Structure 1
Amino acid sequence: MRVVVLAFSLALTACSGGEEQPQAAPGASRIECALGEGSDFGPDCLVEKVAGEQGPEFVVRHPGGQFRRFRIAENRSGMVAIDGADEAANELVGEPPVLQVTVGTDRYRFPADLDARR
């Protein structure tokens, strides 16, 4: 799975789009997200790696100012939501496969090397 996620992250790094979000820290990485039921994926979210009490955390910033926080699962099988009541569901999708994380009606596509950045 790490190889799949790494391959996706390399492809994702080459992509860019959307407007900069003023609430995101400089150097934040753009990821694809689909926010809300029935929405399509677009390169609209930014993710920042921050230090957390239990290790690295990832803050995903939505275009409207909302955000979600995630941590890589202990067994490295996917991402765990660390805020809110909804749990994260992880699955590999697409070709080449990428890690898609669903929390409530929001979906995110994370690059494999996210924890290796900065």
Structure 2
Amino acid sequence: MFTRISSAFLILALAACGEPKADTKVLAKAEAEQAVAAAEDGRVQCAPGGAKAFARVCEIERAESDGGLVLTMRHPDGGFRRLLVASDGRGVVAADGAEPAVVTLAGADEIEVALGDDHYRLPATMKAAAR
């Protein structure tokens, strides 16, 4: 009987507390920091092959070339795309292949890059993060 009474008291106490309200600015900042950290870890959100949803499953390899910094985006299935970080403010361009990279802003500090059916979300500070 004591267990039932203490359980009932615990439930009433929790109900009285209510749920804490989330601060959206704090959450947005934490998500942005996690995205930059993941990109520095070599992982970014992508939707390869026309996937409907983005997931943090693509790996990035960075290499310096005569043309500048080359990012190789590796898909979970073994496919890949190469992007060249542009020095003229465009963000990135296709490093090889016939399909051009289409770059759009996806947020204050993020760009979305589309190469055919493959889509990537990169921090807008990728150049700084790569150093």
TM-score, structure 2 length as denominator?
0.65
2:128 paired with 1:110 = no
Supply the distance in 2 between the matched residues of 1:38 and 1:49 (Cα, whole angstroms): 24
Q: Kindly report which structure 2 residues correspond to 1:2-21, keeping only aligned pairs within 5 A, or say none.
A: 10-15=33-38
Q: Relative to total residues, which structure has the larger helix share, 1 or 2?
A: 2
**1:59: how far off?**
0.8
For residue 12 of structure 1, what is the amino acid of its counterpart?
A
| Maintained 8 Å contact 1:9/1:114 | no
CA deviations on 1:37-86 (whole Å, 9 max, x unpaired) are 25210001011210112111111111111111111223122210112210
Which runs of no fewer than 5 residues in structure 1 stay unpaired?
1-7, 17-26
1: CA distance, partners of 2:109 / 2:125: 14
Structure with more strand by fraction: 1
TM-score, normalising length: structure 1:
0.72
Q: Which of 87, 90, 100 pairs up with 1:77?
A: 90
Q: CA deviation at 1:113?
A: 2.8
Conserved? CA contact 1:49–1:115, under 8 Å? no
Q: What residue ranges of structure 2 are gaps of 5+ in the alignment?
A: 1-30
The one-letter code matched in structure 1 to 2:35 is L
Task: Give the drift of 1:9.
Answer: 6.3
SS of the residue 1:115 aligns to: helix
When the two structures are aligned, how many residues end up with a matched partner? 101
Q: Structure 1: how far apart are the matches of 2:126 and 2:109?
A: 16
